[in-house]
Structure 1
């Protein structure tokens, strides 16, 4: 059995870390927008790091569970409820057959993630379970989830390892202004000195043109030397293009594989989740860092994930006491 979609919410899809190795053939990587929230969701359930989840935007889905499982909800604060009763984000939640998961509204952030201990029964297409909406492949029938869809589970997994805490106390997305750290891009020489200074010292605003493909920003004109056009080349996750209108566009999970506009910079990996959780009219600033600094920040985040694992997978006091009692009883019988 599995989970039935009663109400699909907005842009609700199945995603994992994406479909790598096929950009040269024109297939976007796709995958989750907020890799950090995705990894934490699977971590809370002791899932494989790349296990597929349900990603939703601005409005969460309503799901009915047709069998028992355990879930974890991460990302923005969507006020999750089970059978009308509020439940915590960033915690393992036991779901019984017939339980209804719903969301009241988004108080912070803009994207949420639901991981499942029983694993979604989604076929692997070209090495990934991610939904590629433009090509209509992967995920659930190559499309967003719709009312009435039923996704089966691959395994029966209704228990978790002994935990110190099945939850993490995180408040991820509360800042009104977001600073995105960037490494300057491969075509920075296409821009004037004044244009680069404008980019790094101005405030930009997230527009309504913000989806899984990219985020268009409104703000001061970024001056280029002759033209912002280039011979098309590859595009990385978080690349900041500047077309002829001089306003930056940050390319995201469903980005095109190549592009013909100059890239002034690239948002570093650890900061892309902050952008993924932004909303329309949110203010953004850019800060230049070196490649070495970006790598150190990534290593720092990996250490943070390791600390989460240590917290989650340490046996709790009650378990240790039970083990001690069992050991003493075993010793007592052995002595007899």
Structure 2
């Protein structure tokens, strides 16, 4: 289960300064929950897939997920990078570079990330991907597994991020990738449009929500929830439910046994403050569940900070599947 790789000592990025969070992420260990381990994986799959798309990488090529920026790298040798997600006003040496683009880096160049004004997660992809130890067929790091010494060690100042031999894109590769990107224009601003105002979280209702009257359902969906300061990669905690429906919710039948939980589940603990489960969620839970937020909206939710507002809107499983399929097809 714990796969080791042969490290290349010639190709790496060195972390020379770090104030924010940084971890290696891919699409996660999707078949591990029955073993009691979180699926983990990249928080914002849209930004992650976009970065690999820019470089012509495999969709699951591991990247660095940088939370709130404030990190600096030094390149040991030439490499080709792409940066997506929250705009950290990145510099290569003294030259500002643009987000959502690929860039060439030379040996001994310094790549410096500032703190983003909006958003949380920024993605640094390298041509060919990152080389690191796997755990359960994934390179993704989670806080729990880092504490248990599973997978690659946590990234700190002085860490060397190992790259593959293909880290520098050839002229032919760049021409091929530019041709693909020219033919398939993607517009990130459309995907993240207005999420900093009020993000509408479309969700698939569960019996707890369906047990409310239509008036109470409308009241819950019209309510503006505020993201709490104790939100993280495990779950986004929200402000309290509307007072007028708390009594009804309290009196509805609740589960008596714990059961498996899913990405996006809207749990309702006894304090009536909903929790939307995210990538590092636990594997089982006993809280009642209002529904499950569709995945394409979760990739936007993970970019919001405490104080941002969200609303809920019920939808169907078929719609959720169509939205996710359409997102993935953009990067095929």
Q: Same fold (TM over 0.5)?
A: yes
* Structure 1: 5+ residue stretches without partners: 307-336
1:284 equivalent in structure 2 = 310
Q: Distance in 1 between matches of 2:47 and 2:321?
A: 20
Write out aligned runs for 1:58-77 (5 A).
58-77=68-87
The 10-residue stretch of structure 1 (275-284 or 229-238) with the greater mean CA deviation from structure 2: 229-238
Distance 1:89 1:138, change over 3 A: farther
Q: Distance in 1 between matches of 2:278 and 2:265?
A: 8
* Displacement after TM superposition at 1:231 (Å): 1.2
1:266 equivalent in structure 2 = 292
Question: What's the RMSD between the two structures over aligned residues?
Answer: 2.2
C-alpha contact (below 8 Å) 1:9/1:62 kept by paired residues: no
C-alpha contact (below 8 Å) 2:126/2:167 kept by paired residues: no
SS at match of 2:144: coil
The 10-residue stretch of structure 1 (7-16 or 184-193) with the greater mean CA deviation from structure 2: 184-193
Distance 1:76 1:48, change over 3 A: same
Residue 275, structure 1, aligned to residue 301, structure 2: yes
SS at match of 1:208: coil
Q: TM-score, normalised by structure 2?
A: 0.85
Write out aligned runs for 1:1-336 (5 A).
1-136=11-146, 137-141=149-153, 143=154, 145-159=155-169, 160-162=173-175, 163-164=178-179, 170-171=188-189, 173=192, 175=194, 176-185=197-206, 187-188=208-209, 196-221=217-242, 223=246, 224=249, 225-226=251-252, 228=254, 230-306=256-332
* Structure 2: 5+ residue stretches without partners: 1-10
Distance 1:299 1:168, change over 3 A: closer
Distance 1:230 1:264, change over 3 A: farther
SS at match of 2:228: strand
The 10-residue stretch of structure 1 (280-289 or 173-182) with the greater mean CA deviation from structure 2: 173-182
Q: Distance in 2 between matches of 1:219 and 1:180?
A: 16
Q: How many residues align?
A: 304
Q: Distance in 2 between matches of 1:71 and 1:227?
A: 52
Q: Distance in 1 between matches of 2:74 and 2:186?
A: 25
C-alpha contact (below 8 Å) 1:69/1:96 kept by paired residues: yes
Q: Distance in 1 between matches of 2:133 and 2:207?
A: 37
